[in-house]
Structure 1
């Protein structure tokens, strides 16, 4: 059986057809409805004009072919990372049951966050608010994936393939690069940065939600202390 693209399966028309079949008592239709990507609650970035130097810098950051290879200055730093990885894996166990999938996600979040100069707990908190760790999530505005990146970014600084945003590593790369870009534009003001990322600049609910969820993923390395 050939599966339709995720965007088609999540369209309003598709959902209405599924709901109609469920009303008729089709068990298979019920299973299909559970498989459909649920809408994300968060908003989305607003397309803004970029000067050439900024566009080129963002594009270069997105297209870097460097794999997510973690580098540590010394053994203590590596051990601290492994303790963080083990703790975060336990915290995400209910959201992401697969052990290997959890580790791959956390490793990539760590790499892309550090690469963009962002706090890892902030990025994890943002992912929870944006998609609840569902890589197939689609918002009502059309934002996609774990960090709910708007498809226009793939046209502005990517290769134009918006389906890449449903893949873990490209989505995290786009999300972290965009968040870093907004943080630079807001001169380090994280409150305004998060509002801009959400398309609700200057309003409190979204940044407050991120900060609250960031605390869930704060890590105190007792072993190092």
Structure 2
């Protein structure tokens, strides 16, 4: 069972809100307009690998690393293709995304935290309404990756590429590096 990190992600989102108050536990009263627009733009754009040969080499090298989490080789390759495509399109290192997913959900696309965060990247569902897409399914891998990678990229930009700070914001633990250390350990030991 994945750790209940959804509440931490919700608290992270509060760090960049104009006011710290929330309308309710599931949806903040004020949402960062820049991040809202990034989510809208990401979902509207579909992209593919820019260099298919390089991507295929990456996919093959990562497949064995993912096998402890996803046994079926075909499913593994599908997950890796989506992570690579969506992360690269956002300018985020695919290996960092894989490390975040390992820590957040251990690649369980059906993961739901006690706070309601969903999917592999543990995205809070209030974002669907915020961007006017209430019917999006956060358990769907591609949808979850689009949201999660966009949010991660936002924090990487906000922290000028400083991974530890960005990861702490993503997790809702800004000021503490426990989560960032877990992700960096996963990256260093498995995905690098």
Q: TM-score, normalised by structure 1?
A: 0.70
CA 1:186 to 1:122, structure 2 compared with 1: closer, same or farther past 3 Å?
same
Q: Would you say 1:45 and 2:10 are equivalent positions?
A: yes
Question: Structure 2 regions of 5+ residues with no counterpart?
Answer: 18-29
- Aligned counterpart in structure 1 of residue 143 of structure 2, from 170, 173, 180: 170
Tell me the distance in 1 between the aligned counterparts of 2:38 and 2:80: 26
Count of matched residue positions in the alignment of Structure 1 and Structure 2:
173
8 Å CA contact retained: 2:39, 2:147: no
Given that 1:45 and 1:196 are in contact with CA atoms closer than 8 Å, whether structure 2 keeps it comes out as: no
Alpha-carbon distance between aligned partners in 2 of 1:217 and 1:174, rounded to the nearest angstrom: 21
Which residue, out of 196, 200, 214, partners 2:187? 214
* Structure of greater relative contact order (alpha carbons < 8 Å, 6+ residues apart): 2
Matched residues in 2 for 1:53 and 1:203: separation?
A: 25
Distance 1:124 1:110 in 2: 9
Cα drift, residue 39 of structure 1: 4.1
Distance 1:53 1:85 in 2: 32
Deviation at 1:155, TM superposition (A): 1.6
TM-score by length of 2: 0.82
Over residues 20-61 of structure 1, what are the superposed CA-to-partner deviations in whole Å (9 max), with x where a residue is unaligned? xxxxxxxxxxxxxxxxxx343434233433454553343122
Structure 1 residue aligned with 2:118: 144
RMSD: 1.9
State the Cα deviation string for residues 95-151 of structure 1 (Å, max 9, x = none).
111111111100000011111111111110000000000000111221110011111
Please tell me whether the aligned partners of residues 55 and 84 of structure 2 are also in contact (alpha carbons under 8 angstroms).
no
